[in-house]
Amino acid sequence: MKVVVNKNIHDVHIRLEFVYQNKQLLTAIFVSLLVIIGTILKLGLKNINRYVPVTPVQVSRSERRLAAEAESSKNHRRKAVVGETYNPEADKNGEIVKHHKTDAQRQNLQTNLKKILLLQNLYSEQFDQILDAFFLKTVKSGEYVIKEGDEGDYFYVIEKGTYSIIKEENGLPKVIQKYIDAGSFGELALLYSIPRSASVKAETEGLLWALDSKTFRRIIIKAAHKNRKAYLDMIKNVKILSHLTEKERMSLADNLVQKVYKDGEVILKEGDEANGMYFVIDGHVSISKNVNGKKVNMKSVEKGGYFGELALLTNAQRAATAVAKGKLTTAFLDAQAFSRLMGPCEDAMRANMEKYGIKKENIV
């Protein structure tokens, strides 16, 4: 028994000595494995980025969260076969079906639609199209308007009634949100071509404005695609943005928000905090300043011009007022996006300040 133990100890000693003598070889192998794994992960991330949707459709943070949850569970569900991703360039302009509405219904629906973030970047013509395309649907108490896992067919805006948003957790239904006589739902499955991420149940009798998936994609996604192309064309013609790479231009275009103003409407006011900058897509802007109690016109900004960037560069309050002259369409870039995306253009912007002798008190 003793001899066996000694032999075992001897064997262990030999093994340890072998490992010690070859530790450099093992270390080299381990490092090589780490490099290989890192390369695989890097390639994997590149492939993931290839499939990120490029259509710049704006949705709220909660909507993006639900979309991410639905996307992560998509491969584990087989309740529905989701349609192919919509290609706005392949879709030819088709006739949009119009549904009759009374003046009161149209006005109420218009008010509700303007509250939806998803629709706030549409041009007036696009907004009118989508307003025409909604039709009224009656629902009964206890009816499931949407079932989790199903294919997306309609986008809904609430006219009347109480609705529960229900999500399955650990095999049990859980109410995660309620809408009472206001709100909208159903857009996520249409935007991302994924199954419904939650169920919607009518708790009372109600009325819903419905928009079919084909019209939804044709107007909203196609409009976003069209707007993005327009923003990219605009960016190419702005001299200070010439330093941006193609990728940076695309990122900038995706962060621009369309803002439309009526004649005489104030865009920014002297003394306000700087919340972003503006690019003029169409129309004119008058920049003025209060000097000793009198309004002094400083300059006019036209199509292809921009304003509001200097206050962001210097962290100063607005030192002038900007007013729309006639109907004005702008592309707005908020302060956070400006800080994140406009770094390559800062030198050119500061050079403009020096070139024109702009002083801090004259900053817009």
Q: What residues are designated binding site?
A: 187, 196, 309, 318
DSSP E strand boundaries for the chain: 135-139, 144-146, 154-160, 162-169, 172-180, 184-185, 199-202, 206-212, 257-261, 266-268, 276-291, 294-301, 306-307, 321-334
Separation of first and last alpha carbons in the chain: 93
DSSP-assigned states of every residue in 245-295: -HHHHHHHHHH-EEEEE-TT-EEE-TT----EEEEEEEEEEEEEEEETTEE
Q: What's the token pair of residue 2?
A: 């003793």
Asked if 98 and 63 count as a contact pair (C-beta separation under 8 A), the reply is no
Alpha carbon distance 126, 330 (integer Å): 16
CA neighbor of 191 nearest in space, from 157, 221, 146: 221
Q: Who's near 166: CB < 8 A, 6+ residues apart?
A: 148, 173, 174, 175, 176, 198, 199, 200, 201
Residue ranges of the annotated binding site for 3',5'-cyclic AMP are 187, 196, 309, 318
195, 150 Cβ separation under 8 angstroms: yes
| β-strand partners of 138 | 207
Contacts 24+ apart (CB under 8 A), 300-305: 300/325, 304/234, 304/237, 304/238, 304/280, 305/279, 305/280
